[in-house]
Chains A and B, each alone.
Chain A
Amino acid sequence: MLKPLITRRDFLGTSAVAGAGLLLSSCSPDTAPVAPKKSSVNTLRVALIGYGAEGGVLSESLMNLMNTGEIKVVALADIWEYARKKGKNTYKASGFEVNDYENYEDLLAKEKDLQAVIVATPDFWHAPITNACLKAGLHVYCEKMMSNTIEGARSMVQTMRETGKLLQIGHQRRSNPRYVFTFNRLLHQANFCGNITAAQAQWNRAVAKDLTAPKHSEMSADQLTKYGFKDMHQFRNWRWFKGLGGGPLSDLGAHQIDIFNWWMGKAPQSVFASGGLDYYSNHDWYDNAMVVYEYPSTKGIARAFYQVQTTTSAGGGYFEQFMGDDGTIKMSEDPSLCAIYREANATGNWDDMIQKGYVREKEVVEAAKVDVRETAALAQYEIPVFFNKPPHQPHLENFFNAIRGTAKLNCAGDEAFRSEYVIHKANEAIGEQKRIVITPEEVEA
């Protein structure tokens, strides 16, 4: 069996309204635009390792970038023939030919002129694949979680440092123009929230039947064993099994807990949590979790509550909300869920922020009409950023621009490790049923 290292296992194509576009360009960490080029020496040769659900989503953005000539995906690998063929056919249907391989080792052996790889495999393969690719001289974009273990994640940062190659972790909100704009302009420049006193985030999903596979597509028992899976059910549902993934806190929560750290500007000093495997009978990991992180602040402790359920959609929606004594910012990858609220006694005013391009007033239908029989609704404001790309594309662009030397990574391995660490600690807190103290030193890789 192949051996994992671990035990058993931007330019932002953004348009912002009325003056905010320039503001965004200047505040973005990824400021240098790279003009689209058609198949030039600047075209980066890339391979995709893992064509599951996430590999498919990433491919939509990768194909957009292939279309401009910025990159060329020359190969993909997946241990499951069914997924491998689907990936190859999807690229072909979109006009792109790619070579396909069963595993990353074959891919690395045959594809000699690669510059970067995208890793979108089950979590427990992230560290061994990322480390091998970095050592092979390639830059790596690895999906979150970095690893199913803290040790695995730490090894990735160490390899990144040793090889001097780039390692971007797929917390794609870090490059989302709406997040970047709001973080830089509203949260910091306008100090919109004032003192952040609390935060909350959630991602809830309805009950779903465990994934299976079409008839005649199952991998053999030998092949499953070779790649670290007990059976086909475990392979298809690896997220819910210890030793393979990290459960819902890792699968869904990782993105949003990373936003807690990013926007709070630090790691929490402690975590306590409750959760359990209550609903599903054939999973390892908790199917629900409620977590409280404690962040030190100038006004005492700012507590950040995170909830993830895999037993109810709760009406849908996933978001992160930062609440302060002056105002609240609610962010989501779904723009329709983003919102900003200002306390009535907050300092500063909306007009000033509109003038500076930080916010815009929502369009009011039939503004010319006045109904004197009803109290007028308060004016509503919104974040003035629209971008016309799939959510993952800006983060991939940031990675490719960093390879070209025109940008700095928005979520390098060492930065991502701080979030990775506290997510693992939340799972640990549930298991041990106690509050866990986190020191600033231990979140550093």
Chain B
Amino acid sequence: MSEIHVFNHHAMATHFQVRIAGEEKDYAESAAQTAFTLLTRLESHLSRFRVDSDIARIKELKPGEIVRVTEPTFACLQLAKKMELATRGAFSVAATALKTQPTAPQWTLLPESFSIRCDGGKLEFDLGAIGKGFALDRLAEVLREWSCPAFLLVAGGSSILAGEPPAGTNGWSCGLGDDGSAQRYWLANCSLSGSGLAVKGKHIFDPRTGQPAEREERVWALTDTAAESDALSTAAMVLNKNEINDALAQDKSWLIFMNELDAWRCLGSRALPARA
């Protein structure tokens, strides 16, 4: 197997890692640095903690007002809308707004002008459950552009995006759960995200009720893109099994892993990756 080069970066209040196989270290480092530069730029647009970000500007909108946002922010919000529809509201970038507002704020994306219109309430968005995945998808574009197709990208330990496998392997060995998990799969050209309450406590809210997620067990989502897996795993924390099956029925490339009472269960019709 070829050497794997590992590069680290801090962004979006967490740890990002780029692993590149099959490339000289110096060149791989340049590719990773270019990806991290993009990550910094994405954070400046997507962070709700940056007072001059797109998300901060959106928050200032009053009902009826419109603001144009950058292309990445618009694309991320489009994906967020798609995931909100697919999960019938179990995923929403406005979930945390329910802490301060009686009802969810309403908004419309205007594709012809890359703008967003506030239709009601205050658009207090938190992209924490999709932004990191979205960033990984964009970083992957950079690495492919740099002819580094064999990569593994990690965001905060909760989302990974695997590119082509390292030469001579079946994929990137990825485990579900804590370090050294026995539940391992060879992943390539797909994304895996996990959600749970063990690390950050009850931080996931059901956008449909404003109540904290009750599911005690962790959930993992396997999809083609990291934005989808990030959002889907979060939504699955507040969906019951029937609702999860309804969501998975809409996209055959989605798979959910659950661990209940030490028994692993898989939902969805996507073929399981090979066990590592």
Give me the interface of A with B, judged by CB distance under 8 Å.
15, 60, 63-64, 67, 90, 93-95, 208-209, 211-212, 214-216, 334-336, 386, 388-391
A63 touches B68 (CB 8 A): yes
Quick one: which of B33, B60, B114 contacts A67, CB cutoff 8 A?
B114
Quick one: which of B51, B70, B112, B145 contacts A60, CB cutoff 8 A?
B70
Q: Given A60-B70, A95-B114, A336-B51, is A215 in contact with B147 using a C-beta cutoff of 8 Å?
A: yes
B52-70 interface bits toward A, Cβ cutoff 8 Å, 1 = contact, 0 = none: 1000010010000001101
Give me the interface of B with A, judged by CB distance under 8 Å.
27, 29-31, 33, 50-52, 57, 60, 67-68, 70-71, 111-115, 145-147
Given contacts A64-B68, A90-B71, A214-B146, 5 further A-B contacts (CB under 8 A): A15-B60, A63-B114, A209-B30, A215-B27, A386-B60
B27 touches A212 (CB 8 A): yes
Which residues of B have CB within 8 Å of A336? 50-51
Which residues of A have CB within 8 Å of B115? 67
Which residues of A have CB within 8 Å of B67? 388
Please measure, in the bound complex, the distance between the C-alpha atom of A389 and the C-alpha atom of B54, giving whole angstroms. Answer: 9
B51 touches A335 (CB 8 A): yes
Which residues of A have CB within 8 Å of B147? 214-216
Which residues of B have CB within 8 Å of A209? 29-30, 33
B276 to chain A, nearest CB (A): 30
Which residues of B have CB within 8 Å of A214? 31, 145-147
Residue in chain B with minimal CB distance to A215: B147
A87 to chain B, nearest CB (A): 13
Please measure, in the bound complex, the distance between the C-alpha atom of A434 and the C-alpha atom of B276, giving whole angstroms. Answer: 66
Q: Given A67-B115, A212-B27, is A390 in contact with B33 using a C-beta cutoff of 8 Å?
A: no
A-B contact pairs, 10 of them (CB 8 A): A63-B68, A63-B114, A95-B113, A208-B33, A209-B30, A334-B52, A335-B52, A386-B60, A388-B60, A388-B67
B68 touches A211 (CB 8 A): no
Which residues of B have CB within 8 Å of A208? 33
A67 touches B71 (CB 8 A): no
A211 touches B30 (CB 8 A): yes
Quick one: which of A93, A212, A388, A390 contacts B71, CB cutoff 8 A?
A93
Which residues of B have CB within 8 Å of A67? 68, 113-115
Which residues of B have CB within 8 Å of A389? 57
Which residues of B have CB within 8 Å of A90? 71
B113 touches A391 (CB 8 A): no
B68 touches A212 (CB 8 A): no
Quick one: which of A95, A212, A388, A390 contacts B112, CB cutoff 8 A?
A95
A174 to chain B, nearest CB (A): 17
A57 to chain B, nearest CB (A): 9
B174 to chain A, nearest CB (A): 27
Residue in chain B with minimal CB distance to A56: B41
Q: Given A15-B60, A67-B68, A67-B113, is A212 in contact with B30 using a C-beta cutoff of 8 Å?
A: yes
Quick one: which of B51, B114, B146 contacts A215, CB cutoff 8 A?
B146
B71 touches A386 (CB 8 A): no
Please measure, in the bound complex, the distance between the C-alpha atom of A370 and the C-alpha atom of B214, giving whole angstroms. Answer: 36
Which residues of B have CB within 8 Å of A388? 57, 60, 67
Quick one: which of A95, A386, A390 contacts B51, CB cutoff 8 A?
A386
Closest 6 CB pairs between A and B?
A: A212-B30, A388-B57, A214-B146, A335-B51, A67-B68, A215-B147
